Amino acid sequence: MVRSSASNSNKTVGVLALQGAFASHEAVFESLGVRSLQVRTPEDLGQVDALVLPGGESTTISQLLESSELFEPVKKSVHEGMPVFGTCAGMILLSKKILDGRADQLSFGAIDIEVQRNAYGRQIDSFEADIEVKTFSTPFHAVFIRAPRISKLGSGVTVLAELDKDVVLARQNNVMVASFHPELSRDDRVHQLFLKEI
């Protein structure tokens, strides 16, 4: 495990826990000594300083956000400046536009990107690759599972990492997104990068 010192022990990071890989994100924060909370209700959201939207099935998470009455509170919090990190499906949910989503699929429009779902193929096409992340002294080993692709990038978005000219890690203001699953790596530096914004 590649590790840096955490300075967020007095903060609470929420992890959306409606569906998907939320437990793995919690484990990373726990290993860093950062308090985390599973977010399933608007009341839970009110107790956190930042939020992670994990990988999973983006259309299902979108529906669950609505049925749990969390969609509007999360949207309000993010647009008011709460730090948020979306991985894989979470990136899709935070995007400005989903090119191939269902007609009823919602997104938060929190980062100026357009995304294509499952752009790298099905589950069987999942892969791992070393990527160069800005500010990291060594490559980060990234896990891509049914990964989305950023097809269009707004001018206000900062590119943090690329893979074969595809942007796979980016940030705009309080929003950070990854098309891969950093929580499945034995390297916590991407989570540390997010924690610096809290």
Residues classed as catalytic:
88, 181, 183
Q: Quick check: 75 and 107 in contact, CB under 8 A?
A: no
Query: What is the spatial distance between Cα 175 and Cα 188, in angstroms, rounded to a whole number?
Result: 18
3-class secondary structure per residue, 52-116? EECCCCHHHHHHHHHHCCCHHHHHHHHHCCCCEEEECHHHHHHEEEECCCCCCCCCCCCEEEEEE
